[in-house]
Structure formats: C-alpha cells, structure tokens
Amino acid sequence: MDKDRSAKIKANMEKLLNDEEFFQEQVENAFDSTDADSSENLDYEELKKWITRAFGALGIDLPDEEILKTTFTTFDRNSDGTICKKEFDVFYKCIIQSLYNLLFASEQ
C-alpha cells in the first residue's frame, strides 16, 4: 500500500475510532448498504460480502470460511442466525480496531 493511501486509511480509521458521531454515520451507511434484502438484519452471506469488500479495499486476504463463520456466530449475540444493527455496531467497531492494529501497530 502506498504511503498516501495508507495515511488516508489511517486517518479515516482514527476518525471512526475517536469520533462517535462519524462512527454512527458510517456504521449506519455500512449496515444499510450491506442489508441487501432490507430485512434490518444481516445474514451470514450479507456479512461475508461486507467483510470481502472491506478486506479487499485494504488489500488484505479474506480469512478462511471457518473464521468467517466463527466471527458471525460470535457477533450474533442472541443466536437468531442474523446480525441486527446493534450487533453490527459492536462488530464494526471491533473490526475497525483490529484492522487498525494490524495495519498500523508497527507505527505506534
């Protein structure tokens, strides 16, 4: 990843992690654009598509299917087989923090 792109990604992630209003705006947009069937819940395939897009945009290899399924199950707190908006908020924050640590930990 080139330095300019890396700096932009880092700044955006820091804003997501530190600006609650911006975070809520972005997580709402991410959820709505991922909820293909407008059910107000994300099924496994919808969440997998979001993860695929997010990781691809950052040039990160997609985790294997077992990890994706475990991730889905972990964030499906009420075990109903879907991720609601509240669960997605927690998922999104964790993913952004984890990706930030993965990509930028050596700079700290």
The amino acid at residue 71 is T
Residue 68 one-letter amino acid: L
pLDDT of amino acid 108: 55
Average pLDDT value for residue range 16-27: 96
Q: What percent of the chain has pLDDT over 90?
A: 78
Q: What is the mean pLDDT of residues 37-60?
A: 93
Q: Residue range 88-102: average pLDDT?
A: 94
Give the pLDDT score at 37: 95
pLDDT value for 101: 92
Q: 51-83: per-residue pLDDT in tens? A: 999 998 888 898 999 999 999 999 999 999 999
